[in-house]
Amino acid sequence: MSEYSFLLAIGTVFMLGTMSPGPSFILIAKTAVSKSRKEGFGVAIGLGLGAVVFSLLAIFGLYAILETVPFLYGTLKIVGGIYLLFLAYKMWKYADMPIDTQMNLEHKPKSLSRAILFGFATQMSNPKTAIIIGSIFAALLPKEIPPYGTFLVCLSAFIIDVSWYSCVVGLLSTQKAQKLYLRSKKYIDRVAGSVLGALGLKLALDR
C-alpha cells in the first residue's frame, strides 16, 4: 500500500487549496444563503466535477502546455475573467432588488442539472486552477502512477471539493444565515460582486 502513500500528501495539499477563498467559495456561499439547499449542493457537485477535469488535465500534462504557450494561457485567462465579471455584474444588478423580485426576473430556480452545470462552468473559468493543481501533481505524483492511481486521484479531488462546499452549503443555508442575508442583501451582494469583479479583472489582466 506504500505505493499509494502519495494520495495522502496530494489530498492534504488539495484540501488546503480548496478551502482557500476564491470565486468558487464566493458563489457557493451566495447560492447557499439566497437559493435552495438543493441548488447549493448541485453547484458543489459541479465544482467537484470541474476539479476532476483539472486533475485529469494536470495528470496528462496540459498545465505544462499552458505554462509554455503564453498565448493559449492568456486567452483562457481573459475568457475566464470575462465570465467572472459577468457574474459580478449580475450580483450588482440585482443587489437592490428584493429576493422574490429577483427570482422572478431570473425565472424559476435552477434545476439540479443546471446548478451542476453552473458550478462546473464557475470552476472551469479559472485556468490558474489548472496550473496550481498541475504544480501539486508535478511535485507529489510518482513518476510511475500505480494501477488505478489516476482514478483514485480524481476521486479524491471530487470528494474533497464536494465535501467542503457541501459543508459550506449546510452551514450557510440555515434559517439564521438566510435571515441575516435577507436583512443585508444589498451590502452582501455588492461586496461579493466587488470581490468577484476584482478577481475577474486580476485574472484577465494579470500577465
144: left (phi over 0), alpha (psi -120 to 50) or beta: beta
Which amino acid would we find at residue 167? C
Host H or E run for residue 149:
helix 149-172
Give the per-residue pLDDT at 104: 46
d(CA 121, CA 162) in angstroms, rounded, equals 15
The C-alpha cell at 117 is 452545470
pLDDT (0 to 100) of residue 1? 56
Which one, of 47, 53, 164, lies nearest residue 117 by Cα? 47
Per-residue pLDDT of the chain (207 residues; tens, 9 = 90+): 577 788 888 888 888 878 777 788 888 888 888 888 889 999 999 999 999 998 888 887 766 676 676 777 777 778 778 877 887 887 787 667 655 444 444 545 568 888 999 999 888 887 777 777 777 777 777 878 888 888 999 999 999 999 999 998 988 888 888 777 777 777 777 887 888 788 778 777 875
**Cβ neighbours of residue 62 closer than 8 Å, sequence gap 6 or more:** 130, 134
The CA distance from 88 to 78, in Å, is 15
Whether the CB-CB separation of 182 and 99 falls below 8 Å is answered with: yes
> Nearest to residue 76, comparing CAs of 91, 57, 59, 92?
57
Q: 3-state DSSP call for residue 34? A: helix
Domain count, the chain: 1
Say what the pLDDT of residue 120 is: 93
Give residue 179's domain range: 2-205
State how far the Cα of 142 lies from the Cα of 150, in Å rounded to an integer.
Answer: 11
145-189 pLDDT tens trace: 888 888 999 999 999 999 999 998 988 888 888 777 777 777 777
